[in-house]
Amino acid sequence: MKINIYYGGRGLIEDPTLYIISKLTDVLEELRVKVTKYNLYEEKSAITSLPKTLKDADGVILATTIEWFGIGGLMQQFLDACWLYGDKDKLSKLYMLPVVTTGSYGEKEALLTLIKSWEILGGEPCNGLSAYVEEHVEFETNSDYEKTIEKAAEEFYRVVNKKTKLLPSSAGTFKQSVIRNNPIELTPQESEQLSVYVSDDSYVKKQKEDIEELSQLFKEMMDNGDLEKGQEFIINLKDNFHPLEDFTASYSIELSDVNKTLIIEINDTKMKCYYGEKPEADVIAKTTHAVMNRLVNGRVTFQGAFMSGELTAKGNFKTLRTFDQVFRFKLM
């Protein structure tokens, strides 16, 4: 038999939840049960992949500590991961013993939250342990409390070992209705692989970059296919771009008469140009479509338009002056 313990506290020495976990482990190991403990605070970046550890388990212990309200974020993340990536068939066969302690308030409510959550996941929740602990030393040296914990461990062992059939719960019906409204159907293997991807920071970062690149490409495709005024500026800017080494800047140029804002992002030899919003741009300028048309046709410079008042700007004025160096428009 194998029991997994998932601990959602912070790992503080005086945490009474750790004492209860230790006593439960001692009893279960005496009964020749293999016990594996997972500290969620040590698995922050891999919580989404933890549901795969349920594969070979016969039962689980969900143990957490209330510090101010509820079961805490780490335990909630683990339960979310079980819902999104866990093998639902496997979860339906897993017995769960909830353990909650607190030095403040709400241990009963948190215990009920764990039980409800496990029912909705399809698992079998057992009667758990909850305690208000004002002084951890007094709690840990109380022999009556120790016997209660040991008795709970023995009862949990009997339930898991005999695969005791528990009474049905309405949460099972709720679970089925939620699943029916979920359009994504994944096999357990696909869910597990997805959980690994989600827990991989480099993979997630690459996906975000790819999405941003596709979004930008889509914007440019829309810009090139749009016949509205001002779209031609993007082509002119790209055709007349002359990169400067180690120069990074961003420009936001509002065309007030056509209610559009042209965004230019320069990073060394790369340049992006699109219509949108960028309130944190290095230079924020405002002009008209006619002035911008004269600028890209080489009839006026960016700085010249600024000096004449045809273009207003704020931000980094060194970057403002550099605009005419990176964009050299030919007189047309």
- What are the pLDDT digits (tens) for 173-182? 555 555 544 5
The amino acid present at 226, given as its one-letter code, is D
Distance CA 204, CA 41 (A): 21
How many whole angstroms from its chain centre is CA 60? 25
Q: Give me the residue label for tokens 């969900």.
A: 62
**Cβ contacts of residue 63 below 8 Å, gap of 6+?**
5, 6, 7, 8, 9, 17, 20, 21, 98, 99, 100
C-alpha to C-alpha distance for 80 and 51, rounded to whole angstroms: 10
Of 14, 110, 119, nearest in space to 63 by CA: 110
| pLDDT band for position 166 (cuts 50, 70, 90) | confident
Decide if 2-197 and 227-326 have a common fold: no
How large is the average pLDDT for residues 23-30? 97
Rounded-to-integer distance, Cα 166 and Cα 13, Å: 35
The DSSP symbol for 252 reads: E
For the segment 34-62, the average pLDDT, to the nearest whole number, is 94
- Alpha-carbon gap, residue 224 to 25, rounded angstroms: 66
Above 90 in pLDDT, residue 310? yes
Q: Read off the pLDDT of residues 214-226 as tens digits, 9 standing for 90 and up.
A: 766 665 555 454 4
Residues 24, 3: contact at Cβ < 8 Å?
Answer: no
Q: Please give the pLDDT value at position 109.
A: 95
Angstrom distances, CA of residue 208 to CA of 30, 201, 220, 266: 49, 11, 18, 20
User: In angstroms, rounded to a whole number, what is the distance separating the alpha carbons of residues 39 and 175?
Assistant: 28
Name the CATH superfamily for 227-326.
Answer: SCP2 sterol-binding domain (3.30.1050.10)
User: For residue 22, what pLDDT band results from cuts at 50, 70 and 90?
Assistant: very high
Res. 227 pLDDT band, cuts 50 70 90? very low
Counting residues of the chain whose pLDDT is more than 70, the rounded percentage is 84
Question: What's residue 317's pLDDT?
Answer: 86
169 three-class SS: coil
101, pLDDT greater than 80: yes
Written out in words, the top-level CATH class of the domain with range 2-197 is: alpha beta
pLDDT of residue 232: 67
Distance CA 22, CA 31 (A): 14
Confidence of residue 63 (pLDDT cuts 50, 70, 90): very high
Decide the pairing of beta strands 260-267 and 248-255. Answer: antiparallel
Domain extents in the chain: 2-197, 227-326
Alpha helices in 42-187 (DSSP H): 73-85, 88-91, 107-121, 136-140, 143-162, 171-180
Lowest mean pLDDT among 52-56, 57-61, 217-221, 295-299: 217-221
Which tokens sit at 212? 């941003």
Strand partners for 124 = 95
Query: The pTM is what?
Result: 0.59
The residue-averaged pLDDT of 267-275 equals 92
| CA 318 – CA 310 distance, rounded (Å) | 19
> Does residue 272 have a pLDDT over 90?
yes
- In 3D space, the residue among 128, 159, 161, 153 whose CA is nearest the CA of residue 22 turns out to be 153
300/291 Cα distance (integer angstroms): 8
